[in-house]
Copies of this chain bind each other. A is one copy, B any other.
Amino acid sequence: MASLGKGRIEAFSDGVIAIIITIMVLELKVPHETHFADLLPVLPVLLSYVLSFVYVGIYWNNHHHLFHATRGVNGAIMWANLHLLFWLSLIPFVTHWMGENFRASAPVASYGFVLLMAAIAYQFLASLLARHDGTNSVIAKALGKDRKGNLSVLLYCAGIALSFVNFGAALSVYVGVAVLWFIPDRRVERALAEVQAVQPNGNGL
């Protein structure tokens, strides 16, 4: 097996995702005044920070599950992973723009666009991992027909379209997709549990 270990790609991804999720808090500008009312202008930025925190948390969670079920990585997987990290790294930028202008089409649509590209990058990474492990592998079986992933892509497109009509509806769609993914990917957990039942010393961490 010429494939490389997965430990370092996990550690690097954890580092990048940890920085992305924490860097967003730098966008929260401390008010110059000292009353609670002075926090009001910060509120929309804080709320979009919360939404993005949940999204980046979801990606970390799913990334964790995805690589937990994986046996090894190759060069293509490394680049697919960096591609995913690239789109995730743009989340602080669009979060800030949307947080300061959540009633405007362009920022809300841009936020959805970055989420859309990250979702596509994740699906691509997952498919490469499934191919690398073989069609009979845990991950290939677990992913199967990725209905939740496909649905998310459709919903992001709907959200982007809605942002030109009604920003509230667009934001609701983004929140809805986050709720959809809030629960980590049971398919992978279930398939792993099955495999471990058959082969007790499977590829557990």
Give chain A's interface residues, CB within 8 Å of chain B: 1-2, 4-5, 7-12, 14-23, 25-26, 28, 30-31, 34-36, 38-39, 50, 53, 57, 60-61, 64-65, 68, 75, 78-79, 82, 85-86, 89-90, 92-93, 96-97, 100-101, 104-107, 110, 182-184, 189-190, 192-193, 196, 204-205
Structural contact, A183 and B39, CB atoms closer than 8 A: no
What are some 7 contacts across the A-B interface (CB < 8 A)?
Answer: A2-B189, A2-B190, A7-B205, A11-B11, A12-B18, A15-B19, A39-B106
**CA A68 – CA B72 in complex, angstroms?**
13
Taking A4-B65, A53-B89 as known contacts, 18 extra A-B pairs with beta carbons closer than 8 A to each other, sorted by chain A number, are A1-B196, A2-B192, A2-B196, A5-B204, A12-B17, A12-B64, A18-B19, A22-B23, A22-B89, A30-B96, A30-B97, A34-B97, A34-B101, A34-B106, A35-B106, A36-B110, A53-B82, A75-B183
Structural contact, A64 and B8, CB atoms closer than 8 A: yes
- Determine how close the nearest CB of chain B comes to the CB of A147; give it in whole angstroms: 19
A contact face: mostly helix, strand, loop, or mixed = helix
**CA A105 – CA B9 in complex, angstroms?**
37
Copies in the complex: 4
B-chain residues with CB within 8 Å of residue A11 when the two chains form the complex:
10-11, 14
- Determine how close the nearest CB of chain B comes to the CB of A189; give it in whole angstroms: 6
Structural contact, B93 and A28, CB atoms closer than 8 A: yes
- In the complex formed, the residue of B with least CB distance to A32 is B100
